[in-house]
Amino acid sequence: MNHVRETHGTTLELVRHFVARMFDGEWSATAGQWQTVAVSAFALLLPAGLLLLRSGSTDQDRYLRLSALTSAEPYRAAALADELALLTLVFAVTALVAAIQWQSLFPSRRDYLALAGLPVRARQIFTARFICIFILSTALVVAMNLLPSVLAPLAYGGHWQKNASLVVNIRAQAVASGLGCFFVLSAIVALQGLLLNVLPARWFACVSVYVQAAIIGGALLAALFSWSIRDWPAERIRELSQLGAWAPPVWFAGLHERLLGDPDPFFAAMARRSVFALLASILLVVLGYIACYRRYQKLLLETPVPITTAPTRRWTVLRLLARKPQQQAILEFMALTLSRSRAQRVIWLAYIGAAIGIVINSSLIDARFVGHDAHSVLNFLVLYWPLSMSVVLLSGFRHVLRIPAELPANWIFQLTENLGRKEWMSMVERFIILYAIAPVYLLLFPLTLLALGWPLALRMTSLQILISLTIFELLFYSWQQLPFTCSYTPGKRPLILILGGYLGVLGMIVPALSLSVRAGSEFIELFAVYLAFFGGIWIGARKRRREGWGDAKLLYEDLPEGVPDLGIHELTWRGYAAK
């Protein structure tokens, strides 16, 4: 009895265990490192819905101006566009969090091995994990909708609002947005349960990585696209019945309007669809857990862990890049780690999805101002996409390379690095160019050729490649470690600074560079000047980055950035190289 009183019961202790380690994963070296990241993410998550709420004198004047009209239609169309934008953003952030926690949505082999020595039954593990998911879902929904549910009705209020009661508006916003977030979470959990029960274990491990990355990319695209929804004209809002009846934000926007008392049959149909979708997703989650519980022993215990060996090939692209055995060995190590480690693959595919989502969203926004014809869209694509994708993919690849694969095994590299340190670092450079820069231009150059023709396409692509290589030099200027072998401390930089940096580079610097590249490719004289300018910057940056290669020891421990970097290690490195 004393033991039971101290532990508060098996199920409760398992729930506490799962909740405490909900965000611990393969991307972090030790337990508890997620807390710094979670605090920073919560600072962005709580007011996420507020980002789209109308504020400032311009928007207030706009709603006052719409309230003064004799017709209610323009006002209500603007309010519905704002509601759709808010729901889309909230649902996108919810899907993003659920996709990041993909590995924690169902019990795994890792859970069983961790609890194998305890008197715990499979039923208790599944019950505790299900309760943990419910707790996470509830906390996420409350965090996402607490402030928007109160402030959105105030921001959208006016003379022509459908219901004058502030309480009714707050209740409608909270119900529609909260139930929509529960639907998104339930749908993602149900999708994983479906894959887990339909696919063989080996196929599930492979397919789930791509599904997880696709959800992350789609969520980022939806979050970015939500900013353009609030500027939709009234004509496009009226087309929702034909164009948007399949979209979940439209379903729950219909539920919001029905709760406000709108008798429109379209909103009534969308409200019924939202309730049906929510109930169906919850039912699929319950059935998925029951089915997984019945197949628990076969799925998690009896299925062997696949052990694959790389086939020996006489010719590969990697072998063309390597001239010495040390170079070939390190290239094979990086390629096999990237292809076999789930953590690295998920993060890399997520960055690819983010890059695609960013450039697609920018193309959709550009189409509103430039035109919807194929020629205009293609010209924007070949002008903006290469540099934008280079920024995202290079910074993402730098993140992927810092995630350790098997940290205790790095002793073999520490013992042998003096035999091939310089060759290793040169292969890291070629590996990054091969995986993060070359695919962008191999895929986009045919489109550039189609849009601009040979001379202009060659000039534009050559300038873009030089800028992409310069971006690589700037991002990897202080790189002094072997990929996948150094410990990783997440959360050293606040998320607001990371997002702000991306927005600043992609929103201001990349468009300015793209326009300069376009101007330089159209005029031969200007092209020669730009070629010498960007080429000189790249050569200078590359020379500085490669100074002292092969002399300084590689880093195997990622220390917190608590002490300002005074550049002393860099001066010591160069002084040692000079000797």
Which residue is listed with tokens 């000047």?
529
Please check whether residues 415 and 290 belong to one and the same domain: no
Please check whether residues 414 and 548 belong to one and the same domain: yes
DSSP 418: G
User: Residue 91: pLDDT above 80?
Assistant: yes
Residue 29 has a pLDDT of 47
Please tell me the least confidently modeled range out of 8-22, 359-373, 478-492, 542-556.
Answer: 359-373
Please check whether residues 152 and 269 belong to one and the same domain: yes
CA distances from 318 to 51, 314, 335 (A): 46, 11, 9
Domain final position from 269, 302, 335 = 302
pLDDT grade for 24, boundaries at 50, 70 and 90: low
Q: Are the C-beta atoms of residues 204 and 115 closer than 8 Å to each other?
A: no
Q: Convert the pLDDT of each residue in 527-555 to its tens digit.
A: 999 999 999 999 999 998 888 676 678 88
Residue 458 has a pLDDT of 93
User: Residue 560: pLDDT above 60?
Assistant: no
Residue 52 has a pLDDT of 47
Indicate whether 60 belongs to any domain.
no
Indicate whether 309 belongs to any domain.
no
Q: Convert the pLDDT of each residue in 43-76 to its tens digit.
A: 555 554 455 454 433 455 666 777 767 777 777 7
CA distances from 273 to 182, 288, 300, 461, 555 (A): 15, 22, 36, 48, 55
Please check whether residues 335 and 242 belong to one and the same domain: no
pLDDT grade for 176, boundaries at 50, 70 and 90: very high
Q: Give the 3-state secondary structure of 524-561.
A: HHHHHHHHHHHHHHHHHHHHHHCCCCCCCCCECCCCCC
What distance in Å separates the CA atoms of residue 278 and residue 187, rounded to the nearest whole number?
8
Residue 379 has a pLDDT of 82
Query: What residues are paired with 481 via a beta bridge?
Result: 555
303/257: higher pLDDT: 257
Q: Convert the pLDDT of each residue in 111-168 to its tens digit.
A: 666 676 677 777 777 788 778 878 877 887 887 777 777 777 777 666 677 777 888 8
Domain final position from 302, 331, 349 = 302
Q: Convert the pLDDT of each residue in 339-358 to its tens digit.
A: 888 788 888 888 888 888 88
pLDDT grade for 573, boundaries at 50, 70 and 90: very low
User: Residue 107: pLDDT above 50?
Assistant: yes
Mean of the per-residue pLDDT values of the chain: 77
Please check whether residues 239 and 323 belong to one and the same domain: no
Of 345, 96, 351, nearest in space to 215 by CA: 96
What distance in Å separates the CA atoms of residue 244 and residue 254, rounded to the nearest whole number?
11
pLDDT grade for 366, boundaries at 50, 70 and 90: low
Q: Convert the pLDDT of each residue in 277-314 to its tens digit.
A: 999 999 998 888 788 776 665 555 555 555 455 455 55
pLDDT grade for 180, boundaries at 50, 70 and 90: very high
Of 113, 119, 89, nearest in space to 9 by CA: 119
Residue 272: domain span:
2-35+69-302
Please check whether residues 195 and 89 belong to one and the same domain: yes
Domain final position from 273, 302, 331 = 302
What distance in Å separates the CA atoms of residue 490 and residue 346, rounded to the nearest whole number?
16
Q: Convert the pLDDT of each residue in 389-426 to its tens digit.
A: 999 999 989 989 988 888 888 888 888 888 778 888 88
Indicate whether 355 belongs to any domain.
yes
Please check whether residues 461 and 495 belong to one and the same domain: yes
User: Residue 428: pLDDT above 80?
Assistant: yes
Residue 2 has a pLDDT of 45
- 316: amino acid identity, one letter: T
Q: Give the 3-state secondary structure of 222-276.
A: HHHHHHHHCCCCHHHHHCHHHHCCCCHHHHHHHHHHHHCCCCCHHHHHHHHHHHH
Please check whether residues 288 and 353 belong to one and the same domain: no
Highest average pLDDT, of 13-27, 518-532, 548-562, 564-578, comes from: 518-532
Structure tokens at 383: 């002008």
Indicate whether 362 belongs to any domain.
yes
The number of folded domains in the chain is 2
Within 8 A by CB and 6+ apart from 397, the residues are 348, 351, 432, 435, 436
Predicted TM-score (pTM) of this structure: 0.77
Residue 157 has a pLDDT of 67
212/309: higher pLDDT: 212
Q: What angle do CA 157, 163, 168 make, to 5 degrees?
A: 95
Indicate whether 413 belongs to any domain.
yes
What distance in Å separates the CA atoms of residue 258 and residue 242, rounded to the nearest whole number?
19
Q: SS3 of 381, please?
A: helix
Indicate whether 54 belongs to any domain.
no
Please check whether residues 172 and 295 belong to one and the same domain: yes
Indicate whether 538 belongs to any domain.
yes
Residue 390 has a pLDDT of 92
What distance in Å separates the CA atoms of residue 321 and residue 315, rounded to the nearest whole number?
11
Please check whether residues 472 and 329 belong to one and the same domain: yes
Summarize the confidence of residues 327-339 as an average pLDDT: 87
Structure tokens at 99: 């996709």
What distance in Å separates the CA atoms of residue 346 and residue 90, rounded to the nearest whole number?
23
DSSP 481: B
Structure tokens at 51: 């980002």
Distance of CA 558 to the CA centre of its chain: 23
Residue 243 has a pLDDT of 65
Q: Convert the pLDDT of each residue in 478-537 to its tens digit.
A: 888 889 888 877 666 655 566 667 777 877 888 889 889 989 888 888 999 999 999 999
Residue 568 has a pLDDT of 39
Of 357, 398, 399, 105, nearest in space to 214 by CA: 357
Please count the residues of the chain: 579
Please check whether residues 449 and 342 belong to one and the same domain: yes
Rg, C-alpha atoms of the chain: 27
Q: Are the C-beta atoms of residues 146 and 46 closer than 8 Å to each other?
A: yes
User: Residue 577: pLDDT above 60?
Assistant: no
Please check whether residues 385 and 481 belong to one and the same domain: yes
Residue 467 has a pLDDT of 94
Within 8 A by CB and 6+ apart from 503, the residues are none
Indicate whether 416 belongs to any domain.
yes
Structure tokens at 406: 């098997």
